[in-house]
Structure 1
């Protein structure tokens, strides 16, 4: 068995402010990490597929965070790792899906080839790898949906609040 992390943050952006103000969403960005230390995270932002770190979050003004550590089978971990490697190797081919976020808000499943928003990406690779059985289609996940669902997941090992180190 291996441990992965789903990291949720409140990322400072116009969309995040909108989600927080209008919908009361505490967390507005989702990433996946293939270790329990949250050293390198993978997600999507306005520039497309991205690799993130805790220090990058701090530089961009992220203050609120939570990490759900999940135990997954070795086979699921290998599939996750392989899928993420494909994204890393072909990162220029992938784009952010603003329209996907809009459809998600109105609860309409929408999938466009090689286009993702952060939580859709995390949900899709979790589902396709068999790491986690999801309750809805990947294109219908916003970061706060993970917050509610992961707290009850059988695979949950630990929850770490405020994983970002304090500024010194």
Structure 2
């Protein structure tokens, strides 16, 4: 068994503030880390696929965060690593989709080739790797939806409040 970390944070850029207000608060960004220390995290932001760190979050002024540590099978971990490596190797091919995030907020599923928003990327990675069985399509997850669903996951092993 391997441990991965889902990192939820509250950013304060204009689109994040909009989603924060419209969704009743909570978290506005989610990242995936392939280790339990969450030293390196993967996600999407306005620039496309991104590699993040706790220090980067601190520099951006993130003060609200939540780490969900999940235990997954070795097979799921290997698939997840391969999935993430594909994004790392071809990061210039991937783009952020504001339209996808807005349609997600409206509960309209939308998949655009090579375009992702943060929670869609994390939900798709978890689903395709078989790491966690999610109830909805990846394109229908906002960060708080993932938080709420993972809170009841059998794979959840540890929760840390405000580690950033």
Query: TM-score with structure 1 length normalisation?
Result: 0.96
Deviation at 1:22, TM superposition (A): 2.3
SS in 2 for 1:82: helix
Q: Runs ≥4 in structure 1, deviation > 4 angstroms?
A: none
Q: Number of residues paired by the alignment?
A: 164
Give 1:23's aligned residue.
23
Matches within 5 A, 1:19-168: 19-164=19-164
SS of 2:15 mapped into structure 1: helix
Shift of 1:80: 0.4
Superposition deviation, residue 102 in structure 1: 1.1
Moved more, 117-126 or 12-21: 12-21
Cα deviation 1:46-73 (Å, max 9, x = unaligned): 0000000000000011110000000000
Question: CA shift at 1:132, angstroms?
Answer: 0.4
Specify the alignment match of 2:9 in structure 1.
9
Name the CA distance, whole Å, in 2 between partners of 1:108 and 1:146.
Answer: 17
Following the alignment from structure 2 to structure 1, what is the Cα–Cα distance between the partners of residues 25 and 94? Answer: 26
- 1:3-52, Cα deviation, whole Å (9 max, x unpaired): 00000000121111111222213100000000000100000000000000
Using structure 2 for the length normalisation, give the TM-score: 0.98
